[in-house]
Amino acid sequence: MKTAILTGASKGIGLEITKRLISLNYKVYGISRSFQGTSYEDNNFIKIECDVQNTSELIKVLDTIKEKEREINLLVNNAGVGYFGPHEQLKIKDIQNMLRTNLEAPLILCQLLLRDLKKSKGMIISISSVTAKKVSTYGCAYSASKAGLTHFFTSLFEEVRKHGVKVTTIHPDITKSSFYDALDFTYEEDEDAFLLQEQIADAVEYVLSNSNNLVVNDITLRPQKNRIKRKVKE
């Protein structure tokens, strides 16, 4: 059985990827700020409550995992947060929250785990966003955090490939998930206008199933139709 560490594991895409990894015979250490409301249980799903922005606590968590496990085979950077609107209207704390969660935390996690992943010839999979690759009006800061994430892992692969470490970044477009719960826009109900969480997990499984000599560095997933809708204010 292989060992994975996954952030943002309590719901949405992260929980769906967790379920898929367990079906692929992984033990998953899932990190999230809270697992309240997470009903999924499995002996190979170890829930760890930790805010990835709390660096000192994150270091302690990883040290504990390393003490328990012979090797670490997979890191999945999934935790993410987004705030949208004209840039001058964003709260400073929200900009900091995006940069720390979407970009800083994955960089720190990689720094802390790279030696272990080199030993196991393991893999890093990161969930970025299609906004990393295009103009994102009213999402400038969010797309910048995701573009930084994508660029970091593009460069990191060139650094670690000689050690046998694989690096993949997945760029989903609008996905039917809890990400939009607190936003003023969401996906259209037309089934051709959004991705499913299971399809992101499919992409993860595809990456993991390839031969040792093949690395899929970049996957972009988009629905057939490009539509969003504004929520009606009550």
pLDDT in tens, 163-179: 999 999 999 999 988 78
- Tell the CATH topology of 2-230: Rossmann fold (3.40.50)
Distance CA 91, CA 234 (A): 23
Q: To the nearest whole percent, how much of the chain has pLDDT over 70?
A: 99
Q: Mean pLDDT across the stretch 186-213?
A: 94
Asked if pLDDT for residue 231 goes beyond 90, the answer is: no
| Confidence category of residue 233, pLDDT binned at 50, 70, 90 | low
Q: Mean pLDDT across the stretch 54-77?
A: 97
**pLDDT tens track for 110-128:** 999 999 999 999 999 999 9
Q: Residue 173 contacts by C-beta under 8 Å, 6 or more apart in sequence? A: 129, 130, 195, 220, 221, 222, 223, 226
| Confidence category of residue 228, pLDDT binned at 50, 70, 90 | confident
Q: What mean pLDDT value characterizes the chain?
A: 95
* Per-residue tokens: 64: 């504990």
What is the pLDDT, as a whole number, of residue 146? 98
Work out the burial of residue 47: count CB atoms within 10 Å of its CB; fewer than 13 is exposed, 13-18 middle, 19 or more buried: middle
Position 215: which residue type? Answer: V
- The domain ranges of the chain are 2-230
Q: Residue 39 contacts by C-beta under 8 Å, 6 or more apart in sequence? A: none
* 227 or 134, which is more confident: 134
What is the pLDDT, as a whole number, of residue 75? 98
With beta carbons less than 8 A apart as the criterion, state whether 76 and 32 touch: no
Position 52: which residue type? Answer: V
What is the pLDDT, as a whole number, of residue 234? 58
Work out the burial of residue 232: count CB atoms within 10 Å of its CB; fewer than 13 is exposed, 13-18 middle, 19 or more buried: exposed
